[in-house]
């Protein structure tokens, strides 16, 4: 995630959180995998970029209910 993308995602999530707006976030990643994905390219875990990804995930966890949906991928059932 580039610094610019991180800033934009943070601004959007923070705005929605502060204004109690309903937000649905879908991803194929669990929280740990999402944190790793957002931190792509970050070498120093104490860097500003790493801190920004932590702030984003913190807000997501604070404003959302996590619902894990499991099952087979119906889009892939006829791929052979």
**Position 11 confidence tier, pLDDT thresholds 50, 70, 90:** very high
Q: How many whole angstroms separate alpha carbon 69 and alpha carbon 76?
A: 16
Rounded CA-CA distance 62/80 in Å is 41
Tokens standing for residue 43 = 């070498």
Domain count, the chain: 1
What is the reported pTM? 0.71
* Residue, of 38 and 10, whose pLDDT is higher: 10
DSSP state for residue 19 in the 8-state scheme: T
Q: Which residue has the higher pLDDT, 33 or 1?
A: 33
pLDDT score recorded for residue 31: 85
Tens digit of pLDDT for each residue in 21-79?
A: 999 999 888 888 888 888 766 555 556 667 888 889 999 999 999 898 888 888 888 87
What residues contact residue 54 under an 8 Å CB cut-off, 6+ apart?
35
């Amino acid at each position: 995630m580039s610094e610019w993308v991180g800033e934009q995602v943070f601004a959007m999530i923070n705005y929605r959180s502060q204004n109690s707006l309903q937000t649905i976030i879908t991803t194929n990643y669990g929280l740990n995998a999402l944190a790793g994905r957002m931190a792509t390219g970050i070498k120093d875990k104490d860097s500003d970029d790493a801190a920004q990804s932590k702030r984003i995930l913190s807000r997501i966890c604070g404003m959302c209910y996590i619902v894990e949906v499991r099952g087979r991928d119906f889009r892939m059932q006829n791929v052979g």
